[in-house]
Amino acid sequence: MTQLLCEDLVLGYEGQAVVNGLSFQVNQGDYLFILGENGSGKSTLIKTLLRLIPPLSGKVELGGGLRADQIGYLPQQTPAQRDFPASVEEIVRSGCLNRMGRRPFYSRAEKAEAQADLERLGIAGLARRCYRELSGGQQQRVLLARALCAAQRVLLLDEPTSGLDPSAAREMYELIARLNREGLTVITVSHDLPAAARYASHVLHLAHRPLFFGPREAYLQSEVGRACLAMAKGEEDA
């Protein structure tokens, strides 16, 4: 079942195109990795999918009964955001905000949902801690729990492992893969090609235009996929 259909998209800001000629689709249960160099338009695409910015042209359609408020989002982190002075519990509950309309307090069900998501990710013990005192790995889990609180069906993750050491990054990818196996559709931006080779069902490789979109196996056989993997392997061996 198609949940997201993008056709002939041109993305950018104030009339200036950043990405051209982009068409792809995401089906329920997919795990799409979006790869590409710094500045290639990955975060711009995520923000367009979330309708935070309009496409310059083309269309983004939700399908299979998916509603925009069933999409959870983990934004790309900046150092200032890592210093956010709120409790873990508050941050995770705030994932419910876009379902609440004008109601100024969390319902019992929303509080229970936040608690369940903390437990699902193994961080219930951190609920009362202040977010900015946590390690980078713990902070990313908290943001994943927040996205889960919002996401009934789809998770959009913008570099969920940025700033994490290899073992924390691995744990994060394992968690995300588990959520995907449990039925959530996952779309993640990443610079980690070996992780894409291991976990992705599909790959979209951007360079201001799509260099590749398709199943992981086809990507790994493609010219662009082989070149990138060889480069990643070279870095590993160096």
Positions that interact with ligand ATP (CB under 6 A): 13, 18, 36, 38-44, 76
**Can residue 43 be called a binding residue for Mg ion (CB under 5 A)?**
yes
Q: Is 192 within 8 Å of 200 (Cβ atoms)?
A: no
84 binds, among ligand ATP, Mg ion, none (CB under 5 to 8 A by kind): none
Closer of 13 and 84 to ligand ATP (Cβ) = 13
2 binds, among ligand ATP, Mg ion, none (CB under 5 to 8 A by kind): none
User: Up-side HSE of residue 211: CA atoms within 13 Å toward CB?
Assistant: 20
140 binds, among Mg ion, ligand ATP, none (CB under 5 to 8 A by kind): none
Residue 26's identity, in one-letter code, is: V
* DSSP three-state, residue 206: strand
Q: Is 85 within 8 Å of 132 (Cβ atoms)?
A: yes
Closer of 46 and 127 to Mg ion (Cβ) = 46
Phi, psi of 3 (to 5 degrees): -100, -25
Closer of 78 and 167 to ligand ATP (Cβ) = 78
3 binds, among Mg ion, ligand ATP, none (CB under 5 to 8 A by kind): none
CB of 158 to ligand ATP, least distance (A): 7
93 binds, among ligand ATP, Mg ion, none (CB under 5 to 8 A by kind): none
Closer of 106 and 219 to ligand ATP (Cβ) = 219
Q: Is 70 within 8 Å of 98 (Cβ atoms)?
A: no
CB of 76 to ligand ATP, least distance (A): 6
Query: Cα separations (Å) of 84 from 9, 65, 78, 91, 92?
Result: 34, 35, 11, 9, 13
The closest of 212, 50, 209 to 200, measured between CA atoms, is 212
By the criterion CB under 5 A, which residues form the site for Mg ion?
A: 42-43, 76
